[in-house]
Structure 1
């Protein structure tokens, strides 16, 4: 099990890299995360959903996705706290304080999922959540040491030198956790090192001497990680510097409950495309070709934020200038005339006005659609992707669907063809669809195979792990 001294120290990426490395050694590897909190999720082969990071790790292990890889997924939702997904299915909503009472009932199901994976693999790589030193959350924990102790799993602790204080964070973790928990930690990794490794050799020795843990290695920064899907919305940087050579600017409002934002990743690596991430308080650029509204775990709440930030005015002005607008999933719902929540799924029951750019109305329903789909868009271009949403959207603009999938009409297009809404995620990962959209916007796709590119990066990440970490010692630790 790989735990961290804090959030975003590289746990997810390390498990992905090791999954590919051990798979290339000929082992059957499966990833596992007892509890995850993320609005970035993937549809599994067994009809449920798991965190996007576990989907990437499964891909690295060349294994089909299973709900058992992430048995508890928390999806933050506005006023109702978090949606609790257990073994792939929604079981309810819980606020943070209430969720603590759920944990004792969830641990047996977490252990059940772990046993199912363990029975079908040579090696299970487990990812912790947040920080191992959060002793205030230790009671009833199922994400870190609570799971490790219950499942008798050895732990490797990861520290991030890039954020500073890595010696204190590693040594300090041992100082504050219970002795029985500390006894489970058998090794440590210092991640994201930049420069000459010899300069930190004394630091590695000091950590080992102070903790009694074995060094698994000093892992240099891996810049190509930026080409792999990110799980945390905190990683969505602001506008930054202009992208040299790009001719198409795509503006993306970053709203509090943005979900499945890895839809942006294939566009971001196109040389002709510059993604402009616009946060509240900023202005959607007047020279963008496309405004893209991503998915949302709380459509009505995010719609209120969008309007309060004045993005609705910017988007309407963009449309008047002849620009294109695309809404994906929750973004599609926002584009319509109204969004209704009669059952209080997202909070208080009610109806709010949308942007009115599509003549459709959405009613949020309690049944969640989770499925992989394939078909073709209205221009006859093949596509594949997945659906993951609650809600039914209907109205006159549905007579101009965006696509046909499984023999049914999907999505809606405005009369002038400049506003499109669809429930399909993964649209731009399909090279054919990405090329068609860029042509529609006056640009040209570079012609690369996006999915093959992700696999190439995973192979290089695995080689990076082999060079800098002691993988034989990790295998010796495994029980």
Structure 2
């Protein structure tokens, strides 16, 4: 019979996703069939399943940790923030509409049945379901019709473990405060707590753990030290991206502007991991670095809005100077669309219907269409036949003279991408291609860099194993299994 354990947090970015991923790998290594589940996620970092469904990137990583294929049931409701248009609502992997924050509160009651159906299907295929909450367990202003935290836990009578982040400070108040503000019936579902991201001598927090346990009545289940290798894993959302610093590296400097609606930025993680690459994340108010040989324009969930923000930051001026110095530009998905002459949104998918002028780096135009392309793909580069794999996730159709020089050919014969006549500007729709060691090596070589002997996929597996061992050492995993029901 399948059992369930839910992990909620005192806030966003306290480490819920990593705890679930680490425990998924740990319990899988113990021989259990594990299924990760997040009723509702809000993130523009998404993944595409084998059957063409869209789910949160974190749930795809957790599925990998559990050594099983990701499915839409693992994240039945995905909200993708879309600037002024509110958030796109993805139900069981497919877009069903868009809603602003207040409007969405009315949607939630109708979504619970789909959430419960997905949960029951996962239970049928697993020994244990590890459920991840969203945001803070104490968001009592959003408690009505809640499907993400206590609303879901109450419906399925799931025992809850509450996670607090000591790295940001105030963890005692975080955890004790949750007990104070929660409805007593909700608080009764919390059976234990974890203090995450500790740095230093753990004995110095013994009294803190005792105090939290005494004030809440919850069982202390572990004080988990900060796990620095977590930076190697794909991030769930933009919190880690905003907090990260420009990285020091080797000979090739790559700059990436951080757009307000940046999406699927884990595309660039494999490049960041290369020792010969210095990867610089540029925030609004900072110039694109003059020493960069390559500027990468990342994906976006609101391409037109991010194109406007790009210009407001003055980066179009920096980019023109970069081009005059002989620098190169590469775009992925939304960033690729921005590089054209024009972007049209006739159906108002991102806001009011209309069209805007692009950056003009590529001779092509993009038209947004209601039907979204969601597909895992494989193929080879057209120039030199280097194999690649990745996924498509876009709602635009791009055409123009520079599309006569595509970069990729899929196994089904389709082509993707465009390049300028001088070869300095290029882009593709496909996400995730740099995870392929062969493709990444060829890309770096063509831009004057050198690839190391890094096996990116193997490094992810090793990191998940390390994460599992980390939590086995510092959490009471046996007690967690006892709490599950």
- TM band (smaller chain): over 0.9
The answer to whether the aligner puts 1:28 opposite 2:33 as a matched pair is yes
SS of match in other structure, 1:236:
helix
Partner of 1:8: 13
Q: Distance in 2 between matches of 1:92 and 1:70?
A: 17
Structure 2 length as normaliser, TM-score? 0.97
User: Which of 1 and 2 has higher RCO (CA within 8 Å, sep 6+)?
Assistant: 2
Partner of 1:88: 93
Shift of 1:202: 1.5
Q: Distance in 2 between matches of 1:455 and 1:110?
A: 29
**Correspondence for 1:254 among 250, 258, 273:** 258
Partner of 2:372: 368
User: Pairwise CA RMSD of aligned residues?
Assistant: 1.0
Shift of 1:239: 7.9
Kept in 1: contact 2:44–2:81 (CA 8 A): yes
Q: Deviations over 1:16-68 (max 9, x none)?
A: 00000000000010100000000000001232110001111111001101000
Shift of 1:163: 1.2
SS of match in other structure, 2:311:
helix
SS of match in other structure, 1:286:
coil
Kept in 1: contact 2:341–2:359 (CA 8 A): yes
Q: Distance in 2 between matches of 1:49 and 1:239?
A: 26
Kept in 2: contact 1:31–1:124 (CA 8 A): yes
* Displaced runs of 4 or more, over 6 A: none
Structure 1 length as normaliser, TM-score? 0.98
Kept in 1: contact 2:39–2:76 (CA 8 A): yes
The answer to whether the aligner puts 1:303 opposite 2:300 as a matched pair is no
Shift of 1:216: 0.8
SS of match in other structure, 1:374:
strand
Partner of 1:443: 449
Q: Distance in 1 between matches of 2:337 and 2:246?
A: 31
Q: Distance in 2 between matches of 1:79 and 1:192?
A: 34
Q: Distance in 1 between matches of 2:474 and 2:240?
A: 25
Partner of 1:339: 343
Shift of 1:331: 0.5
Partner of 1:166: 171
The answer to whether the aligner puts 1:101 opposite 2:106 as a matched pair is yes
Shift of 1:241: 5.6
Between 327-336 and 158-167, the greater mean CA deviation after superposition? 158-167
Kept in 2: contact 1:266–1:428 (CA 8 A): yes
Shift of 1:237: 4.2
List aligned pairs for 1:99-248, cutoff 5 A: 99-237=104-242, 240=245, 243-244=248-249, 246-248=250-252
Q: Distance in 2 between matches of 1:52 and 1:79?
A: 23
SS of match in other structure, 1:162:
helix
Kept in 1: contact 2:247–2:279 (CA 8 A): no
SS of match in other structure, 2:360:
coil
Corresponding pairs, count = 478
Q: Distance in 1 between matches of 2:143 and 2:421?
A: 56
Q: Distance in 2 between matches of 1:239 and 1:106?
A: 35
Shift of 1:409: 1.6
Q: Distance in 1 between matches of 2:52 and 2:375?
A: 7
